[in-house]
Structure 1
Amino acid sequence: MRHVNYLCFFAVFLSSTIGNSQTLSEKIDELIEKKLPNSSIGILIKEADTDKIVYSRNPNKLLSPASGMKLLTAAAALYQLGPDYRFITSLTRKDQNYYIQFTGSPSFTVDNLNSLLLNLKKKNVAIINGNMIIDSSQYQPPFYPSGTSYDDLGWYYAAPDTAAILNENKVTYELTSAKELGGPVKIRAKTLPKALTLENELVTVSKEEEKNHCSMNLEIKPQNTIRLYGCMIQDKNPKLIELAIPNPLLLAQQIIKNVLNENKIKLAGKITTGITPTNSEFIASFHSQPMDRLVTHMLQESDNLYANSITKKLGYSLTRKGTHKEGAYAIKKILSEHTHLDMSQMEIVDGEGTRYNLVTPEQMVVLLSDIYHDQKMKNVFFRALPQAGATGTLKDRMKKTMLENKVYAKTGSMHDISSLSGFLINPHEKTYIFSIIINGVNKPLLKAKSLEEKILQALDEYSLEGGEPTHS
């Protein structure tokens, strides 16, 4: 009887051991089949130090990574401009004219512009006999990537990427619904109260009404005017929204006029636009944070304006043309020189990650592998990437799970697209590089994000069990 028991135990152990060699592959395949069987999914997972493939599924399939594209933008910026590069906004003079030269600093604020202009008072300038000229010529139109959705225009995540950027070219508003259904919605500016003119036609409705019959919409009109119309759900708590400033130059003109008036500096000419002469006299300048800090913000918050401005700056640095097309060209050229990426295996049209961009999971892993094996780049990226359950766009994901603080990755989300590409680190175990790109999600996007996390959880369990790499 004891002999039979030993045989049974050995059979179970052997079965478990054999099954364990296929556990990860089978488990991930099962998760995909269960959660999103009809979606287009590409996955590649490798050991960072050995390049051994742990799991793959359609690794060479071209897919849209959405904001996962910002990984390429960040890498190109750090390779080309360097971690210490700073955007410079300057105030200069030539003859009777004064010039403010904007160069696309994505973190430049209204307060920064005020401080820059106050240098006129410090220099005892009482009258400007010529014009005050705004130079935003480094970046040319269009001021939105070609893949920008029409529905996104007017909202903060589609703020125009002009060279003149103030407070990220957006305004925050607080919306309060009426106590009675059908009543008007009250709107109050939380920032830059005079930057936009709002036409408010929003009405208060029930949750059921909003779900089936109406929505909040906006229309961009001339002179930084936005019409808000449609409905808002009745709620006892105010709602915050952020709207893009359609024409940042108008806001810059407004601020310049106010500062001159407040400091009793007379302007004989007018506030207009133009190009700064090369031999103009320096008065003052404002330097942005260094590029590694800007890249950190871009990746942590998935900030489209930062990505687009950095992309245009890359284009300008190579061709002296600050456009999306030149920026995309620059990203491809820079990364082809500094990494092992195969540019024929991707389509890059902008730096933020609109639908027109296409990459393969394999190429994302190639990029991340190059970063991992470059100590300087690795240090910057591990500080910059969102960390599971802790920072950025992963702050509220994988919290209080076995993945918390172990995953450093860039997220991507857009309509029917979700992606997650980065690193999984097991203390005292192995580091894995992964890219999961999911297109064609016909269910709530949370389903795709849940799948991403389940896959990483399976990988983490597999790693802790010490399994050998298996892939499909």
Structure 2
Amino acid sequence: MKNRLAFGLILLLLAACSTSKSIEKELIASSGDNSFFTGVSVKNALTGASIIEYYSDKYFTPASNVKLFTLYASLKHLKDSVPSFEYSISGDSLFIKGSADPSFFNDSLHKNSLEFLSNKKYQVYLLDEDLHDDAYGAGWSWDDYAYGYMPEKSLFPLYGNTVSIQRDQKGLEIIPSFFEESVHLDDQPEKRREQDRNVFYINKSDKTIERSVPFKTSNQLVADLLSEKLGDKVTLISAEFKRNFKPFTELPYDSLYVKMMKESDNFIAEQLMLQVAYKVVRKYNVALAIDHVLDSSLVDLPQRPRWVDGSGLSRYNLFTPESMVFLLSKMYQEVPQKRLLSYFPQGGVDGTLEHSFKEQSYIQAKSGTLSNNYSLSGYLTTKKGTVLAFSYMNNHYQGSSNARKEEMSAFFRKLYEHY
């Protein structure tokens, strides 16, 4: 009996190995004549057993696949609810300072926070503190400053550090209204904002507009925006003012993780890494957070990445498919499965995959897109119920990503059917 079981197990292993080799050969055949670069790694998410490796130890530009590492760093270090701000009370004075919350007044009412700040028995004072970091990440494209996917990082962000501009038959709506006098009709359709100041433009001929434009941040602007929102003056005071501050918390971190992953929100990713840095080294600096994570909980990565930001906006980032899959397997083993998979877009269903990989809802993964680069890393649940961790990276192709997605879709279908 034991011999028959052992023999059966050997046959199953040989069959799995044969399937892997067959799929790998097809991958090599389809990629061999390409003028661009492809790397793939597939492992059993639970055991870490390797299934397919194709240039998986080579470095690629990952784009928003970097958010997987930001997610892991956040899950590791940010345990409680999001601090909306920090505060201290003395008599009738309420002193506040920023805590890098990316969601304040942005897609959320922050009802409790707003009620607390609006208490008329307090005069509100904002500390004139700054980040220990630059407003933009290393390697970000300077001429993207006016596009909603690249707001400035800041210590006390409001409205996602963007101005919402909407125009339709009913008229023009600006949120926050503080910037109403700063939006001008213009004949230059490509110019959205002055590079160095908060002067915004919309094309006269555009009757319908819906866009978010980043604004240049400053602590005085934060005080002014808070004053408008609260209906009472918020006064900026020196950062040298010393008191014991404590956080005012409201929203759960999971609400940020879902939005970051499903919508690929760059701003949330950057602000989360600032918060991670403050937790581990008491400074709001993305590079310090990255160094800490790589030198502690991710010291055993197969290939150490060049990791420079939280969002993946930078082309300086370099990661291997194998390291991506190592991280995915690590998260799968450390985070409850239902919670973990709830963060990921699902093929043909929602998030950034709503219109991609249709009829492949067995894929739950993070996409990464920059011009001429498309990657997808995440989990695939096979017909047999096996969960695979995968990373499929394409760099430096010309044209759209549609052909890459078709090739990837066929590859994923084979994995689904045969494992």
- Residue 409 to residue 121, structure 1, CA distance change in 2 (3 Å): closer
Matches within 5 A, 1:155-194: 155-175=147-167, 188-189=172-173, 191-194=175-178
Partner of 1:391: 350
Question: So what's the TM-score if we normalise by structure 1?
Answer: 0.75
Write out aligned runs for 1:58-207 (5 A).
58-82=55-79, 84-94=80-90, 98-109=94-105, 116=113, 118-119=115-116, 122=119, 124-125=121-122, 128=123, 132-135=124-127, 137=129, 139-175=131-167, 188-189=172-173, 191-195=175-179, 197-202=182-187
Amino acid at match of 1:193: S
Q: Given that residues 107 and 288 in structure 1 are in contact (C-alpha distance below 8 angstroms), is that contact kept between their aligned partners in structure 2?
A: no
State whether residues 193 and 213 of structure 2, in contact with CA within 8 Å, keep that contact through their aligned partners in structure 1: no
Match of 2:387 in 1: 431
Match of 1:347 in 2: 306
Between stretches 315-324 and 356-365, larger displacement belongs to 315-324
Please identify, of 287-296 and 434-443, the stretch whose mean Cα deviation from structure 2 is larger: 287-296
Q: Which secondary structure state, in structure 1, belongs to the residue aligned with residue 42 of structure 2?
A: strand
Letter in 1 for 2:85: T
Partner residue in 2 for 1:418:
374
Conservation of the 8 A alpha-carbon contact between 1:27 and 1:458: no
The answer for the alignment partner of 1:10 in structure 2 is none
Once residues 53 and 323 of structure 1 are traced to their aligned partners in structure 2, the CA distance between those partners, rounded to angstroms, is 36
Change (3 A) 1:304 1:136: farther
Distance 1:417 1:20, change over 3 A: closer
1:315-394 matched pairs, under 5 angstroms: 315-336=277-298, 340-342=300-302, 345-353=304-312, 354-376=314-336, 378-394=337-353
Aligned counterparts of 1:33 and 1:187: Cα–Cα separation in 2: 55
Give the percent of matched residue pairs that are identical in Structure 1 and Structure 2. 22
Q: Which runs of 5 or more residues in structure 2 are unaligned?
A: 1-16
Measure the CA separation in 1 of the matches of 2:326 and 2:109. Answer: 40
Unaligned runs of 5+ in 1: 1-17, 178-185, 204-214, 464-472
Distance in 2, Cα, partners of 1:291 & 1:68? 20
1:222 deviation in Å? 4.9
CA distance in structure 1 between the partners assigned to 2:117 and 2:156 by the alignment: 20
SS across alignment from 1:220: coil
After superposition, the Cα gap between the structure-2 partners of 1:65 and 1:350, relative to the gap in structure 1 and judged at 3 Å, is same
Deviation of 1:48 after TM superposition, in Å, equals 2.8
SS at match of 2:177: coil
Query: What is the deviation of 1:318?
Result: 1.8
Alignment partner, residue 15 of structure 1: none
State yes or no: 1:238 paired with 2:203.
Answer: no
Question: How far did 1:106 drift?
Answer: 1.2
1:308 aligns with 2:308: no
Q: Give the corresponding residue for 1:277.
A: 242
Q: 1:248 to 1:459 in 2, by over 3 A?
A: farther
- Greater CA deviation, 161-170 or 426-435? 426-435
Q: Partners in 2 of 1:240 and 1:347 — Cα distance?
A: 36
Change (3 A) 1:136 1:74: farther
2:118 & 2:75 partners in 1: Cα distance? 37
Structure 2 equivalent of residue 218 of structure 1: 192
- CA-to-partner distance for each residue in 1:94-113, whole Å, 9 max, x for gaps? 47754222101111117757
Paired with 2:217 and 2:171, the residues of 1 have a C-alpha distance of 21
What is the Cα-based RMSD across aligned positions, in Å?
Answer: 3.3
1:137-196 deviation digits (Å, cap 9, x = unpaired): 36333111112111211211111110111121122223569xxxxxxxx98335323336
* Cα distance, 1:198 vs structure 2: 2.2
Question: Offset of 1:384 from its aligned partner?
Answer: 0.7
Contact 1:199 1:228 (8 Å CA) reproduced: yes
Q: Check conservation: 2:383, 2:417, Cα contact below 8 A.
A: no
1:423, distance to aligned residue in structure 2 (A)? 0.9
State whether residues 364 and 435 of structure 1, in contact with CA within 8 Å, keep that contact through their aligned partners in structure 2. Answer: yes
Task: Compute the displacement of 1:435 (Å).
Answer: 0.4
Change (3 A) 1:369 1:73: same
Shift of the 440–120 alpha-carbon distance from structure 1 to 2, 3 Å rule, reads closer
Contact kept in structure 2, 1:31 and 1:454, CA below 8 Å: no
- Note the alpha carbon deviations across 1:333-353, whole angstroms, 9 max, x for none: 34326xx324x5311111111
User: 1:369 is paired with a residue of what secondary structure?
Assistant: helix
Deviation at 1:249, TM superposition (A): 3.6
C-alpha offsets along residues 269-302 of structure 1, whole Å, 9 cap, x if unaligned? 944453563236x8xx642422233222211111
